[in-house]
Amino acid sequence: MDKEQVKNISATPINAPVFPMTEIKFKNREYLNIIYETDREALEEVVPEPLKVTSNRIKFEVINMPDSTGLGSYKEAGHVIPVEYNGEKGEFYLSMYVSNQAAIASGREVAAFPKKAGNPDLFVDNDTLVGTLDYNSLRVAQATMAYKYYKMTDEEALADVTAPQFMLKSVRDYDGSLLRCELTRSQITDIKLKEAYSGPARLQLFEHVMAPLADFPVRKIVDAHHILADLTLGQPSPIYDYLK
């Protein structure tokens, strides 16, 4: 393999890259989003400056992605926090627990998504939509929502899934020093809504040191959304450099 070939590989291993360099498109991406009130102080402890926490609300999401280009079929779950940056409202992605190695590697290496391994699931249990997250052998989150009770408008659904995404990109050099530390922004595009419903819901969180979702206790359920769509995942761009 010559030098140019080395520079053109998408990832290691050289003879079996863990992910391709391609635009990530999703078909039938299915969301269960639980919006709830928690302790604002807990949110402010984890949201990095210059982002600003805008309320005491947080979103727990479980997503089923049965068809994604280059990555295949997988699920993820995690916490998203409403924030503001220079007057623009968006969401800070705090944690994402993912069941697919390629999605974890590409999300961390090429983008800035805070992904780590987990075992989420999203399924219909008779009259109930159920979203769960296991970390290793232990259950850390369980969400239930009444199945397809109230139709959402397109505007309501789009507001939930297309908000600007803010993420932290932190990369260490070989000696442990910071090589890159940036706040990034990305945006979902090419969205085609297929279904969107709201309804009553419940959420249980269980304490775990390596998956600390319960650090944001459920004080009150605000809303729950079940959304199905096709979309394209936008690449993040840096908007703030912590090293300058």
Specify whether the CB–CB gap between 163 and 90 falls below 8 A. yes
Specify whether the CB–CB gap between 216 and 53 falls below 8 A. no
Find the radius of gyration of the CA atoms of the chain: 18
pLDDT at 20: 87
Tokens of 28: 């039938």
pLDDT at 17: 87
User: Distance between CA atoms of 163 and 199, rounded to whole angstroms?
Assistant: 21
pLDDT at 168: 98
Q: For the chain, give percent helix, strand, coil, nearest 5.
A: 15, 55, 35
User: Distance between CA atoms of 142 and 120, rounded to whole angstroms?
Assistant: 10
pLDDT at 83: 99
Q: What digits encode the pLDDT tens for the residues 82-100? A: 999 999 999 999 999 999 9
> Measured between alpha carbons, how far is residue 187 from residues 3, 44, 89, 152 in Å?
34, 23, 12, 22
pLDDT at 183: 98
> Measured between alpha carbons, how far is residue 66 from residues 21, 87, 243 in Å?
20, 35, 38
Q: Please identify every stretch of the chain with a pLDDT value under 70, giving residue numbers as ranges.
A: none
Sign of CA dihedral 96, 98, 103, 104: positive
pLDDT at 125: 99
User: Distance between CA atoms of 52 and 89, rounded to whole angstroms?
Assistant: 9
The residues assigned a catalytic role are 115
pLDDT at 118: 98
pTM: 0.95
Q: What domains lie within the chain, and their CATH numbers? A: 25-241 (2.40.400.10)
